[in-house]
Structure 1
Amino acid sequence: MNYSDRYLRQIANYSIVDVMLADVAVRIQLSPTDYQLAVDHYHAINEWLERDDSPLKGHVSDFYPQGGFAIGATVARHSTDNEFDIDVMADIAYRLDVDPEDALATLHAAIRGERGSRYWLKTDRKTRCSTVNYDGMHLDVTPTVRIVGTLDKTGLIFHSKPEEPWAKKSLFANPHGFAQWFIARTPPDEDFGTFFERRSLDYDRERAILSKRADAAPVPEQCPAYQKSRAVIALQLIKRWRNLAYDKRHGARRLPPSVLLAYYVATHANQTKSLAEELSFQVESMLAILGEAHNRGQKVSASNPTCKDDILTDRWPADLSDQAVFIRELTDFAVKLRRLRGEIALPEMQQILEDLFGEKPARSAVKDHVQRFGQDVGSTGSRFMPGKATIPAAVVGSAAAPSSVRSAPSHKFFGDHPDDLPKRR
């Protein structure tokens, strides 16, 4: 049995939609090569903060990943490029009563360095972090001060704009605790996780061959970081969809935060049997939560399960208008996912995938699918090309069994404009 045969046997356990969604996720995430590059940047910044002329030399108590980088859910930011945001925390030996502006400014100075140094032209100061810009990647470094006597890595982070000194503040946070909570609730699926790992590594090998990069690091045979659960892959797809939806229609609005999406996904994980079902279930569950709050005329709220004072919704939604926009977008997302899971032809499937996740990854995933089956069925391949969204038994040797799925919380938002939803007086 050749490698392609093994692939087809494994793919036979999943619907075409499951395979397509997995392949799109492979194309929008950090590849194994990019992941290693991100790790290299991460270690380089940590060492840079401890250099001899750094204002923070000897004061960095800990340095660790947070956000998507910590839970394996990093995705490309835009549809036209492969920009990735890598988030890390720098635990600094500041006093707890340190001025927020001083904390942020000192970290920024330590990273930027002297004029002419390696990061002088690559570093931007943000409200709560400093960003180091690389080709295709941003490293956001957030300073924190550990609060002794609390759960591991609970601390303060800082908010400050030099031009708004009246608005600066210190905030409770424990992104490490949140990441550990998320990981515990979304363990890798043994079979699908292995399948996704193979897809990720194979795609990276193909990219290396096509780019003919002599300096490309060899891709390993196994990489546990890519043995992901369906819930984590669903989160990646949701984040990608959100990025594109807001890029296209709501560029001036703050995006619903990734940590809030991760919170909802982890809360509703482990209740489905396929990737397509998981994605639909997660989207409709979010829609139900947001819609219930909106019906009451309230903004949705959530806090870090490992630190109740770490408010995940402290900057979003700013008002009910923000919430209504996201409900409207989620409703459109849910409708298209329902259509995607129906009996549709391949061209329509591709169009929906392009609308939701971007033209480039969708077309690449569909092209790979057509080539894979076309090559394996030989002269009979044309029978499948634009057909129904199921894998022919003649191609894979067995039929994919239907799976069950738990119903998402009920809602009545399909076809409704959120501003028209009934509100409790």
Structure 2
Amino acid sequence: MERFKENILKTLLDKLDLPETAYEKAKKRYEDLGEWFNREDSSLKENKVHIFPQGSFLLGTAIRPVSNKDEYDLDLACKLRNGVNDSTHSQKQLKEIVGTELQKYIKYKGITTDLISKHRCWRIEYKDTISFHLDIVPAIPATDVKKQTLFESMQSKDTDKGMAQEASNTALFITDDRDPSYDQKEGKWNISNPQGYGIWFKTQMRTLELRAKFEAAEIADLPINIQKTPLQRCIQLLKRHRDIMFKDNESKPISIIITTLAAKAYAGESNVYIALNNILEAMPQLINSSLPRVPNPVNPEEDFADRWGMEAYSHLRLEENFNIWLKQAKIDFNTLTTSTTLKELNEISDMKFFVSLEENEIHRDLGFNSINKIASLRGPKKHIIQDPAKPWNFKSGE
């Protein structure tokens, strides 16, 4: 029975996962940017620029866009490792010098869209075989004092000392034009640590078997974005369900909260179906009743759910909608994995995930006989797929 349910989720995931060509295209684009910033006549050549992915591409949890018309979103950090610090440059100056090189890059590559300035980053929009937009965040290494503060903060939460040291060493100062000291040297800078979060996430995503092997130093450490552990798979499923339930709705649960709670809840299960059920059960208990509600594991003073309590966002009822989504996800995944006919399986997968499972795929991957056999064992029970509870601020027609 569990094997059958696992196969349903795996077949669905095959439809949601990014094609290998998308990963290759993303990798080529950020490597191309890195070469551009470090070319011989670059104004930032001496700054030893490092371009690297962050977010879902770094973690291996990216999924296909809901529609073929939608763009892939690739988040990048642009770290200047030498010659720039919080005493020599303001945030504004850092963003401008990175923007100057990006303007040259767009012109050289013949990109017809303009460079777009966002609060924390620059955006480049590609329109070719695979539509991407790249969000490039200018950054510099955080000071040693700040790194030590982060290390001590993680240690105070009983984080493994080695992991805390490794993660705190990758902390960054980033630009944000909403910051009061945006145009001031030696001003207060925002902290970000995508590489540190990746280090933490990697320790969380290992199955019990892999954890034992890592501890015994018997296997090589693989790049995080090419591993496909049950944790990564569960996050992909949860994000897609969220995307469909809250399509075009600004009150949807954000990915970093889903990812962090799922990673904390994951107990090393080797089965996606079992892991998903356990994660959905455990996630509500991992939200703190006091601030910070969902702390950043590599910066415990930062609250990923800070907007839940902000007056400016109260009209969105973000916490309420998170809880509504979580309850609906439990119902929908249960309905999906207990489907007893091909028609019912297709109905729920199409309604909740915008994915159609072809009959030949069901025969090949799930086994038509398995569905009939399970249905006969259960008797004439029929699922009724009801309309989900609407998220607050749900717009008619969406």
Assess same fold via TM > 0.5.
Answer: yes
CA contact (8 A) 1:128 1:142 kept: yes
How do residues 13-412 of structure 1 correspond to structure 2 at under 5 angstroms?
15-52=3-40, 54-81=42-69, 83-92=71-80, 93=82, 94-97=84-87, 98-113=89-104, 116-118=107-109, 120-122=111-113, 123-134=115-126, 135-149=130-144, 150=147, 151-160=168-177, 170-187=189-206, 226-247=226-247, 250=249, 253=250, 255-270=252-267, 272=269, 274-289=271-286, 293=289, 301-315=293-307, 318=310, 319=313, 321-342=317-338, 344-359=340-355, 362-364=356-358, 367-371=360-364, 387=372
State the distance in 2 between where 1:389 and 1:108 align: 59
Q: Secondary structure at the match of 1:117?
A: helix
State the distance in 1 between where 2:223 and 2:173 align: 34
Residue ranges of structure 1 left out of the alignment (5+ in a row): 1-12, 192-221, 375-380, 393-414, 420-425
State the distance in 2 between where 1:316 and 1:105 align: 33
State the distance in 2 between where 1:284 and 1:112 align: 48
Cα deviations across residues 110-162 of structure 1 (Å, max 9, x unaligned)?
21227743165343222212222233322222111112422221121122269
Q: What is the CA-CA distance between 1:223 and the residue it aligns to?
A: 10
TM norm structure 1: 0.67
Cα deviations across residues 256-294 of structure 1 (Å, max 9, x unaligned)?
33222221111111254521222232233334445x74x
Q: Secondary structure at the match of 2:109?
A: coil
Question: What is the RMSD of the two structures over their aligned residues, measured on CA atoms?
Answer: 3.7
Letter in 2 for 1:351: E
Check 1:417–1:256 CA distance in 2 against 1; reply closer, same or farther (3 A cut): closer
CA contact (8 A) 1:316 1:322 kept: yes
State the distance in 2 between where 1:77 and 1:317 align: 30
Which stretch has the larger CA shift, 175-184 or 70-79? 70-79
Q: What is the CA-CA distance between 1:85 and the residue it aligns to?
A: 1.8
Check 1:356–1:108 CA distance in 2 against 1; reply closer, same or farther (3 A cut): farther
CA contact (8 A) 2:197 2:297 kept: yes
Cα deviations across residues 16-69 of structure 1 (Å, max 9, x unaligned)?
331222222232222222212211111001112223554433224433222111
Q: Secondary structure at the match of 2:189?
A: strand
The residue that corresponds to 1:6 in the other structure is none
Letter in 2 for 1:258: S
Check 1:38–1:178 CA distance in 2 against 1; reply closer, same or farther (3 A cut): same
Letter in 2 for 1:352: I
Check 1:25–1:418 CA distance in 2 against 1; reply closer, same or farther (3 A cut): closer
Residue ranges of structure 2 left out of the alignment (5+ in a row): 148-167, 211-221, 378-387, 393-398
What is the number of residues matched between the two proteins?
334
Which stretch has the larger CA shift, 61-70 or 35-44? 61-70
State the distance in 2 between where 1:306 and 1:265 align: 16
Letter in 2 for 1:66: Q
CA contact (8 A) 1:131 1:139 kept: yes
Q: Secondary structure at the match of 2:247?
A: helix
State the distance in 1 between where 2:365 and 2:294 align: 44
Check 1:325–1:275 CA distance in 2 against 1; reply closer, same or farther (3 A cut): same
State the distance in 2 between where 1:111 and 1:169 align: 25
Letter in 2 for 1:228: K
Q: Secondary structure at the match of 1:85?
A: strand
State the distance in 2 between where 1:388 and 1:14 align: 14
